Structure formats: structure tokens, C-alpha cells
């Protein structure tokens, strides 16, 4: 027993020595944080879809102002939980927070804002060699393909939309995103709007119960499966389809026009949807005749009441810059710029952000 | 000077020794603590799902995040099936090459080949997965699955459209990943067989083949079982490479061509975007199920090893 105790004493001594050593090492590292005008560092986390644009923005903004923004693309779900926990200064998401998530965040740190930064579209890609033209689809047919109710390419419903094409008598291989993603959220939101059966049987979420055949991991996985499997169809974010020059289908919008997905048609979507002040709105199935129908905003999630003045100021200024000057970087990276009506609403949201009851920014 | 330190060390261990032994004890306990902590945290987070679904979680085949209905059966099935396919391919190949490397090949062949096999074990799984997706899967789809489907399509295992991705591809990828492990360990185990055993067998007039099957393999049987189990352990938990080639469909089908999912691939695919306590809880319960399966496999393996050791003991 005695020996045992002695042994433990030795262990304790080792731990103590180690702890003192560590403390000694870390002490000088803390000290230089004191000097005047410390550079402001912001951290954010969330959606992967806008990550390339955000990285570019924060890089440019850092050159202009010295404000450093560290953005981690961990996924929209991760962004929502991190801002709820308060471990980041802002979150980012491709989907609207659920009522549950909002109430959780609000009981912790008060009201939370959805501020749109850019919008993205979901393009339909397909692999039909030698059909002699671009495929046309309607929302209803698309929903039935993804419900596996239309199982062959030469189905009368598809043939009626594409009179000039040589559609094969082959089974449709339906490819979907297997990982939870904002792209799936926007896609299933659109299908829920155009097909009551889809809404009823499957629904709208970042990950759903698929009837389709193959799940691809991320955009690259979906595109890879579509390219490898003849007679397949899949969906990826427009930026991915444009950068990789994939064949995309035109889709009939709410006004009855067949629209090819493009950045301009994506921006137009916001002009056909009534935008509420809180901007928690999906842009799918827009009534604008020029709009592509599968479009959604991607948002930053920010608390109205900021707890740190310096950080709060840097944050509102960064967002203000992003929705104005920052928009010029969108096109080169295949993102759609915000429509003027959306910019106005975003401005109002940013102006409402406060520190101890005082607005952090005024016009 | 000589003599005194010896005397001292006999009567009382040196302070350095004591510190060292306590330090190692501390590390050993730390491992136990980490495992216990892991289980506690997993159980806390999994609790909403365990409470809601109970044991039916394992038998249910639905996975519907919208309606919050979750079940593990297709993932459990996929995990076991893909690992089984992997082992069926990997065990004969690995044992064969281990026998060759340890018993038959000249040194100038076995040295570089052993080195290459160990290199294969060091390739990151994401690289193997990418190779699988872009090189292996098209090959599986076009000659292999089309041929099997056309000629053996009456058999339920080979029915359905040949997508390339699916259980078959996942099993083959797993085989590629576990072959180096099983081969390397089996070879070392066979090397450890005393050469007196071989010489005795040869002295009795046995052929080379009889020496291997009669002396070498029985002698190291428990070690070989251990090698296979280590391989199986890797196959059960392998995530990235499998996610890329299994097709990620949550269905229960008999066909080897069918896309499927494993527990690890399901968790990896959906965890980052999961929201809601029940959804996250279900994914973590899935992880607990995998924990259970791995534990079970290890226990079975231990029993097998014990049995084979005792059988050998009574046989002699």
C-alpha cells in the first residue's frame, strides 16, 4: 500500500513538472497580444458551396482593410450548430434554419439574421450519347424521374417534350447526392413545389429518402457517376457544371419557358419571388419568365446583438463590402450576383445589427 | 565503486525505474479512460435515438431524415456483405502469397515483393477510393458485370442493371486494402515457425507441399487467424474508399451489383449536414452498432484462436 502511494506521488510529480513546463512555454506567447490596435480576426464556418467565393472575398478584403477572416467550409449543418454554440462569429448555410434550430439559437444568444450573399442554381446533367440535341424537361417529369415513376428515356412524357431527339429505349439511371448538402436542399425544395406527390412522399431536406439508383459523394461523385453511366441523369450545383463544361438540360420555369441554367437566369430568380424582410425565402420556381427555376440563396447567419464591439464592427463592414463591391468577384468564380432587390433587403438586415443596443453601422 | 550500484538496485529499484513504470501505468490507464469516455459520450449523444427506436433500430430498413424514421439494417447488411466479399477474395490471395514469400521464393524475389506489399498498405484510402471510382469501377461495369449479368443473370446475386458501383466494387476495393495487411502478418507468422519443424517433416520423406500443409500451416494457425481478423477489422471500419465505390443507396437487395451502403459510409456521408437530436442521435447509434460488431468479431476471433490452440495441444 505504502509503495503504491509512493508510486502515485512520483506520477503526480511528473505531471506537475510537465504542467509547469507547458505553462512556462505558453506564457510568453500570450503577452504580445497586448499592443495597441490589435488586428481584428473573425472566424466563420459553414456551407461548402460558396466557400471558393468566400475565400476570395476574405482574401481581397484582408488586402484592403487588414481584417482577417478565417472561414471553415464544414457544411451548412455544421455552420448552424457552430453559430448556435457561439464558437464562431458568423455561420453560413445554403438552407434556412428550421424553427427548431432558430429557437435553440435564440434562447442562447437572441435573434439571428439570414443575410444573403450570393445565389446558386442546381443544374441537371445527363449522359445520353448521340441524341442530337439538348434535353428539355418540366418540373413534373423531373419529379417523376426521381420518384422512379418514369423509368425509361423513351417514356411518352419525355418524348412529348423532346420531339426532335432520338431518345433511347433504355432505363434511366437516377443519380443523387449521397452526402447531406445544400444542393440537395434546393433541389428537393423545387421538387416539393412542383410535385405534390414528391412533397408528400419524400419532402425537402439536405438529405432525403431517395428512390433513385446511385448516390454520388459530393458534386464530383455525382458528375463522375453520370459521366460513367450511359443513360443517367443527375444534379450538381451550376458552378460545378459550368467549370467542368457538362451537358445540362433546359428546364421549364413557372412562366412556361424552357430555360438553360446560367448565371443571369440565376440572378433573375430573385426578381420573381416576393422577398420577405427576413430573407428566409427559397427562390425556387420563380415566376420571372427569364428565371431558371432551381435557385437558392446562400446566407451568412449572424446574431443581431453582437457581444464584442470591434468584432461586430468588422463583421458588418465585411458583409456590407461583400454585398456591394464584393459582388464583382462572383462571375469569374461562377456564382450569380445578388439581384438589386435582394441587396436592398440585405442592407437593411446588416444595418439592424447592434452592439449594446446601438447600431454598428449607419448609412 | 563496482558492486555498490548493484547492491542498491537489488534492494531498492532506482527512482528512474519507478518513474518509468508509473508513467507506463498511467498511459495504459489513459487508454482505458479514453475508451470509457468514448462510450459514455457516444451513448449520451445516441440516447434520443435509442430511446425512440429501441431495438427496432437494428431491424428497421427505413432511413428518412424528413420524417425522422431511422433504421440500421441496410447499413449493417452492407457492412457485413462488403467485408465478406473482401475476405473471400483477400484470404486465398494473401495466404497464397504469404506461403510463396516465406516458403518458396528465393530471397531476391521475396525482399522486393515484401517491400512492395508493405508499400501498398501505406497508400491512403482516399487515393485507393479515387482509383477505384475512376479506373476500377468502369472495368467492373463493362466487362465483368455485363458478362456475369448476361451469363449468370438467373442467379439473384447477379441480377439488376450493371452500374459498376455497388457491393461487388466495394468488396473488391476492401480486398485490395486488406491483402497487404493479411499477407504481411501471415508471412511474418510463417517465418516464425522453427526450421526444425520443417526439417523434421522433410526428414520423414514429405514433399515440399506436404511440409507446408503438414508442418508450417498447423504450427502457425492461430497467428493466421489473427492476421485474417486484423484484415476484417480494417474492412469493417473502412470509410472513404468504400463510400466512393459502393453507390450509397440505402436498400436491402440480394444482388451484388446493387448500390448499397455501409455503416461507416452512411455516417461519413451524412454527419456533417445532419441536424436535429434524433437524426444526429441515429447516426451515432449507427456508430455504436459498428462498435458492437467490431467487438463481437474480435471476441469470436479470440475464441477461434483459443480453440485452435487447445485443439492443437490435445492433438500432440
Using a CB–CB cutoff of 8 Å, tell me whether A214 touches chain B: yes
Contacts of residue A185, Cβ cutoff 8 Å, sequence gap at least 6: A76, A94, A95, A204, A205, A206, A296
Q: What's the pLDDT at A8?
A: 53
Query: Percent of chain B at pLDDT above 70?
Result: 93
Q: Touching check for B65 and chain A: CB below 8 Å?
A: yes
Of B66, B165, B274, the CB nearest to A209: B66
A273 vs B276: CA distance, rounded Å: 29
CATH fold, domain A42-119+296-359, is: D-Maltodextrin-Binding Protein; domain 2 (3.40.190)
Interchain contact A76–B (C-beta under 8 A): yes
Looking at domain A121-270, its CATH superfamily turns out to be Periplasmic binding protein-like II (3.40.190.10)
Chain A residues with CB under 8 Å of B66 CB are 202-205, 208-209
Q: What integer is the mean pLDDT of A331-360?
A: 92
Cβ-contact A363, A351 below 8 angstroms: yes
Q: Is A16 on the interface with B (CB under 8 A)?
A: no
Q: Quick check: A279 and A299 in contact, CB under 8 A?
A: yes
Q: Is A298 on the interface with B (CB under 8 A)?
A: no
Which chain A residue lies closest to B273 (C-alpha atoms)? Answer: A77
**Over residues A254-263, mean pLDDT:** 94
ipTM confidence: 0.81
Mark yes or no for CB contact A81/B275 under 8 Å.
yes
Please give, rounded to a whole number of angstroms, the shortest distance from the CA of A336 to a CA of chain B.
Answer: 24
Q: Does B5 touch chain A (CB under 8 A)?
A: no
pLDDT at A272: 85
Residues of chain B with Cβ-Cβ distance to A227 below 8 Å are none
Q: What percent of chain A has pLDDT over 70?
A: 90
Tell me the DSSP string of A210-260: --SSEEESHHHHHHHHHHHSTTEEEEEEHHHHHHTT--B-EEE-TTS-EE-
Average of per-residue pLDDT values in chain B = 88
Place of cell 469470436: B300
What residues of B are in contact with residue A75 (Cβ under 8 Å)? Answer: 272-273
Of the residues B253, B275, B281, the best mutation for testing chain A's interface (the one with the most A CB atoms within 10 Å of its CB) is: B275
**pLDDT at residue B276, rounded to an integer:** 80
A42-119+296-359 and A121-270 share one CATH topology?
yes
Which residues of chain A make contact with B68, given a CB cutoff of 8 A? Answer: none
Domains of chain A: which residue ranges?
Answer: 42-119+296-359, 121-270
Cell of A41: 480576426
Q: Name residue, grid cell 532506482.
A: B14
Q: Which residues contact A56 (CB under 8 A, 6 or more apart)?
A: A329, A333
Residue B308 has what pLDDT? 65
pLDDT of residue A21: 45
**Is residue B289 predicted with pLDDT exceeding 80?**
yes
Cβ contacts (< 8 Å) between A208 and chain B: which residues?
64-66
Average pLDDT over residues B154-172: 89
pLDDT at B223 over 60: yes
Provide DSSP, A271-336. GGSPPPTT-----TT-S-TT--SSEEEEEEEEESEES-HHHHHHHHHHHHHHHTGGGGGTGGGT-B
Residue B296 Cα, gap to closest chain A Cα (Å): 29
Average pLDDT over residues B111-131: 90
For the ranges A109-113, A232-236, B52-56, B125-129, the one whose mean pLDDT is highest: A232-236
Share of chain B above pLDDT 90, in %: 59
pLDDT, mean over chain A: 88
Q: Which domains does chain B have, with CATH numbers?
A: 56-314 (1.10.3720.10)
CB-based contact, B64 to chain A, within 8 Å: yes
Amino acid at each position: 500500500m505504502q509503495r503504491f502511494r509512493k508510486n502515485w506521488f512520483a506520477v503526480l510529480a511528473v505531471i506537475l513538472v510537465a504542467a509547469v513546463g507547458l505553462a512556462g512555454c505558453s506564457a510568453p506567447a500570450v503577452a504580445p497580444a497586448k499592443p495597441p490596435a490589435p488586428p481584428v480576426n473573425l472566424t466563420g464556418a459553414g456551407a461548402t458551396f460558396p466557400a471558393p467565393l468566400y475565400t476570395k472575398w476574405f482574401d481581397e478584403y484582408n488586402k484592403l482593410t487588414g481584417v482577417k477572416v478565417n472561414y471553415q467550409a464544414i457544411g451548412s449543418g455544421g455552420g448552424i450548430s457552430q453559430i448556435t454554440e457561439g464558437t464562431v462569429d458568423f455561420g453560413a448555410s445554403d438552407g434556412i434554419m428550421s424553427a427548431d434550430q432558430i429557437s435553440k439559437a435564440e434562447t442562447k444568444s437572441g435573434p439571428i439574421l439570414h443575410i444573403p450573399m450570393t445565389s446558386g442554381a442546381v443544374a441537371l446533367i445527363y449522359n445520353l450519347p448521340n441524341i442530337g440535341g439538348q434535353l428539355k424537361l418540366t418540373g413534373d417529369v423531373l419529379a417523376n424521374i426521381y420518384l422512379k415513376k418514369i423509368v425509361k428515356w423513351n417514356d411518352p412524357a419525355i418524348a412529348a417534350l423532346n420531339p426532335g431527339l432520338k431518345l433511347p429505349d433504355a432505363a434511366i439511371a437516377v443519380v443523387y447526392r449521397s452526402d447531406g448538402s445544400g444542393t440537395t436542399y434546393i433541389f428537393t425544395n423545387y421538387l416539393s413545389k412542383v410535385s405534390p406527390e414528391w412533397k408528400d412522399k419524400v419532402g425537402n431536406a439536405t438529405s432525403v429518402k431517395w428512390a433513385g439508383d446511385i448516390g454520388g459523394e459530393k458534386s464530383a461523385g455525382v458528375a463522375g457517376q453520370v459521366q460513367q453511366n450511359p443513360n443517367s441523369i443527375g444534379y450538381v450545383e451550376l458552378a460545378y457544371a459550368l467549370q467542368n463544361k457538362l451537358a445540362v438540360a433546359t428546364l421549364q420555369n413557372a412562366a412556361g419557358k424552357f430555360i438553360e441554367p446560367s448565371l443571369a437566369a440565376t440572378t433573375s430568380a430573385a426578381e420573381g419571388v416576393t422577398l420577405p424582410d427576413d430573407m428566409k425565402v427559397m427562390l425556387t420556381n420563380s415566376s420571372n419568365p427569364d428565371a431558371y427555376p432551381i435557385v437558392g440563396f446562400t446566407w451568412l447567419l449572424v446574431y443581431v446583438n453582437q457581444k464584442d464591439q470591434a468584432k461586430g464592427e468588422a463583421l458588418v463592414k465585411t458583409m456590407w463590402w461583400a454585398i456591394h463591391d464584393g459582388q464583382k468577384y462572383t462571375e469569374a468564380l461562377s456564382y450569380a450576383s445578388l439581384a438589386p432587390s435582394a441587396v436592398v433587403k440585405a442592407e437593411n438586415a446588416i444595418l439592424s445589427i447592434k452592439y449594446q443596443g446601438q447600431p454598428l453601422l449607419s448609412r | 565503486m563496482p558492486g555498490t550500484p548493484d547492491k542498491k538496485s537489488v534492494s531498492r529499484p532506482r527512482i528512474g525505474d519507478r518513474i518509468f513504470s508509473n508513467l507506463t501505468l498511467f498511459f495504459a490507464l489513459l487508454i482505458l479512460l479514453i475508451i470509457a469516455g468514448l462510450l459514455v459520450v457516444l451513448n449520451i449523444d445516441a440516447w434520443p435515438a435509442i430511446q425512440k427506436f429501441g431495438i427496432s433500430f437494428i431491424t428497421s430498413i427505413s432511413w428518412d431524415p424528413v420524417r425522422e424514421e431511422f433504421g440500421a439494417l441496410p447499413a449493417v447488411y452492407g457492412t457485413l456483405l462488403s467485408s465478406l466479399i473482401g475476405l473471400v477474395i483477400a484470404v486465398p490471395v494473401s495466404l497464397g502469397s504469404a506461403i510463396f514469400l516465406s516458403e518458396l521464393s528465393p530471397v531476391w524475389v521475396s525482399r522486393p515483393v515484401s517491400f512492395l506489399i508493405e508499400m501498398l498498405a501505406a497508400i491512403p484510402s482516399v487515393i485507393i477510393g479515387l482509383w477505384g471510382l475512376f479506373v476500377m469501377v468502369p472495368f467492373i461495369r463493362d466487362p465483368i458485370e455485363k458478362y456475369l449479368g448476361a451469363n449468370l443473370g438467373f442467379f439473384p446475386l447477379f441480377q439488376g442493371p450493371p452500374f459498376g458501383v455497388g457491393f461487388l466494387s466495394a468488396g473488391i476495393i476492401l480486398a485490395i486494402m486488406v491483402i497487404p495487411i493479411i499477407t504481411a502478418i501471415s508471412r511474418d507468422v510463417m517465418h516464425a515457425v522453427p526450421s526444425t519443424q520443417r526439417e523434421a517433416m522433410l526428414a520423414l520423406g514429405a514433399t515440399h507441399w506436404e511440409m507446408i500443409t503438414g508442418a508450417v500451416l498447423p504450427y502457425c494457425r492461430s497467428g493466421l487467424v489473427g492476421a485474417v481478423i486484423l484484415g476484417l477489422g480494417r474492412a469493417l471500419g473502412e470509410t472513404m474508399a468504400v463510400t466512393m465505390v459502393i453507390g450509397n443507396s440505402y436498400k436491402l437487395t440480394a444482388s451484388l451489383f446493387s448500390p448499397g451502403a455501409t455503416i461507416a459510409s452512411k455516417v461519413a456521408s451524412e454527419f456533417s449536414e445532419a441536424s436535429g437530436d434524433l437524426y444526429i442521435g441515429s447516426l451515432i447509434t449507427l456508430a455504436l452498432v459498428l462498435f458492437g460488431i467490431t467487438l463481437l468479431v474480435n471476441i469470436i476471433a479470440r475464441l477461434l484462436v483459443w480453440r485452435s490452440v487447445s485443439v492443437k495441444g490435445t492433438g500432440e
